[in-house]
Amino acid sequence: MNRVRILIVAIVALAAGLFMTPSAQAAPSDNPYQPGACATLSISATTARIGDTLHISGVGFTPGDELDIVVHSDPVVIKHISVDATGIFGFDWVVPDLSEGSHVITVEGSSNATCPIDPLEIVISGTNPTEPGGNANTGVDSLTMILIAIALLGAGLLIATAGRRRHHHGRHSHSS
């Protein structure tokens, strides 16, 4: 028993020593890339239809930078914008008549050369259904709701039937 305890203590001490040594700590890097300090671009949705309004924003940019936000396939400047004193910008963008499929949104003109600004990808899938000739999109998927209702009714029917059988069986077994 004492040998087992000594062996466990030795293993724990050895493991602790490995994690506490300076060689186990990360060495400082010569690479100036600092993920927490990099500018980021974001968008309110990654799929949209022509005519939808999306919010595009950025944080961590150099205050005062003059930026061009560009959508690619055929490069088109979405917006020329100035970064505010806190390094932030944001605006609403109405999706123009773009071809269906994948498009990339990039930032040009940033003076932050420390790390790259990741582009955004957006998928365009036709026109907004509230455009003339389309059906209004209320946000409700009727088919899903109907299927859920049918499933709930079926489950209720099964439970009620099982309850009647159990109750009916219970009466016969008590009267015997």
For 57, the domain range is 35-127
Q: How many separate domains does the chain show?
A: 1
For residue 73, give the CATH number of its domain. Answer: 2.60.40.1930
Task: Give the separation between CA 84 and CA 62, rounded to whole angstroms.
Answer: 9
Is the full-model pTM beyond 0.85? no
Short-list 54, 67, 169, CA closest to 112: 67
- What tens digit of pLDDT does each residue of 69-117 get? 999 878 889 999 999 999 999 999 999 988 889 999 999 888 776 677 8
Supply the Cα-derived Rg of the chain in whole angstroms.
Answer: 31
User: In 3-state terms, what secondary structure has residue 44?
Assistant: coil
| Residue 105: predicted pLDDT | 92
Residue 96 lies in a domain: yes
Half-sphere exposure of 130 (CA within 13 A, CB side): 6
Phi-psi region of 109 (alpha: psi -120 to 50; beta: other; left: phi over 0): left
Residue range 114-168, pLDDT digits in tens: 677 888 888 988 776 554 444 444 455 677 778 887 888 777 777 877 777 776 6
Residue 58 lies in a domain: yes
Domain-embedded: residue 140: no
Q: Name the pLDDT band for 67 (thresholds 50, 70, 90).
A: very high
For residue 168, tell me if it sits in a domain. Answer: no
Give the sheet arrangement for strand 40-43, strand by strand.
40-43, 53-59, 89-94
Q: Is residue 159 part of a domain?
A: no
What is the arithmetic mean of pLDDT over 14-31? 50
Is 41 part of a structural domain of the chain?
yes
Q: Is residue 109 part of a domain?
A: yes
Decide: residue 5, CB within 10 A, 0-12 exposed, 13-18 middle, 19+ buried. exposed
112: in domain = yes
Beta strands in 3-161 (DSSP E): 40-43, 47-50, 53-59, 66-72, 76-82, 89-94, 101-108, 120-127
